[in-house]
């Protein structure tokens, strides 16, 4: 299954995080880990587990009368997919500015800082970026010219 087609809700993501950290957990374990901090009912957590199985994000195996869950998608795949979704909502011309704001807000270690600096030093720039929005979705000049 390709990660970019995965639509993972915020609640489903919380469940997946438990299973990335504790693969082969049964629903009782997931409920114990999430139940108190999230104030979710066990039935809610079971519904989320069921949805993730249906989406092929989790595999389930039955041992005795218990179901055990394991992730079929990696944390990296879900993060990449969420980033692609975020960028798909933003005009291509605003991505650079958005990235700068993300860096500004993120807590970074010296190692993180160095990593970002390395990526930036190797990054090739382009002279122009074309707006990829539907006309009427953003205020860039390309659109204004079209409508005149
Ligand atoms: Zn645009």
**pLDDT at position 146, please?**
53
pLDDT at 16: 97
Which domain-ending residue is among 71, 87, 107? 71
Same domain, 50 and 19: yes
Tokens at 93, concatenated = 């011309």
pLDDT at 1: 43
Chain centre to alpha carbon of residue 107: 19
Torsion of CA 118, 106, 11, 80, to 10 degrees: -20
Distance from Cα 93 to the centre of ligand 1, integer Å: 6
Q: Are residues 66 and 83 in the same domain?
A: no
Cα(82) to ligand 1 centroid in Å equals 20
Assigned token pair, 127: 């002279």
CA distance 118 to 112: 10
pLDDT tens digits, residue range 15-47?
A: 999 999 999 999 999 999 998 788 889 999 999
What is the CA 144 to chain-centroid distance, rounded? 33
Q: Determine the structural domain holding residue 86 and report its residue range.
A: 75-124
Helix (H) or strand (E) holding 26: strand 25-26
Report if residue 87 sits inside a domain. Answer: yes
Residues 65, 79 within the same domain: no
Token pair recorded at residue 102:
């993300």
Are 64 and 17 in a shared domain? yes
Do 67 and 79 reside in the same domain of the chain?
no
Q: Are 5 and 44 in contact (CB under 8 A)?
A: no
Q: Check whether residue 79 and residue 120 sit in a common domain.
A: yes
Ligand 1 centroid–CA 94 distance in Å is 8
User: pLDDT tens digits, residue range 67-108?
Assistant: 999 999 999 999 999 999 899 999 999 999 999 999 999 999
In a domain, 142, yes or no: no
Q: Is residue 143 scored above 80 in pLDDT?
A: no
Task: Report the CATH number at residue 21.
Answer: 1.10.10.10
Residue 80 counted as domain residue: yes
Look at residues 47, 71, 95 and tell me which one is the last residue of a structural domain.
71
Judgement on whether residues 66 and 91 belong to the same structural domain of the protein:
no
Q: Do 66 and 95 sit in the same domain of this protein?
A: no
Task: Please give the tally of structural domains in the chain.
Answer: 2
Comparing C-alpha atoms, which of 42, 69, 46, 43 is closest to residue 58?
69
Q: Ligand 1 centre and the CA of 77: distance in Å?
A: 27
**Residue-by-residue DSSP string for 46-83:** HHHHHHHHHTTSEEEEEETTEEEEEESS-HHHHHHHHH
Is residue 146 a part of any domain in this protein? no
CB 51 within 8 A of CB 7: no
């Amino acid at each position: 299954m390709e990660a970019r087609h995965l639509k993972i809700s915020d609640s489903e993501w919380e469940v997946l995080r438990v299973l990335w950290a504790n693969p082969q957990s049964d629903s009782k374990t997931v409920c114990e880990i999430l139940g108190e901090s999230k104030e979710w009912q066990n039935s809610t957590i079971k519904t989320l587990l069921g949805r993730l199985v249906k989406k092929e994000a989790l595999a389930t195996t039955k041992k005795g009368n218990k179901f055990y869950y394991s992730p079929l998608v990696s944390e990296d795949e879900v993060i990449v997919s969420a980033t692609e979704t975020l960028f798909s909502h933003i005009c291509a011309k605003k991505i650079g500015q958005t990235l700068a704001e993300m860096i500004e807000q993120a807590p970074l270690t010296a190692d993180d800082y160095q990593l970002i600096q390395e990526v930036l030093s190797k990054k090739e720039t382009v002279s122009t970026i074309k707006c990829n929005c539907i006309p009427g979705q953003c205020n860039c000049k390309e659109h204004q010219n079209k409508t005149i």
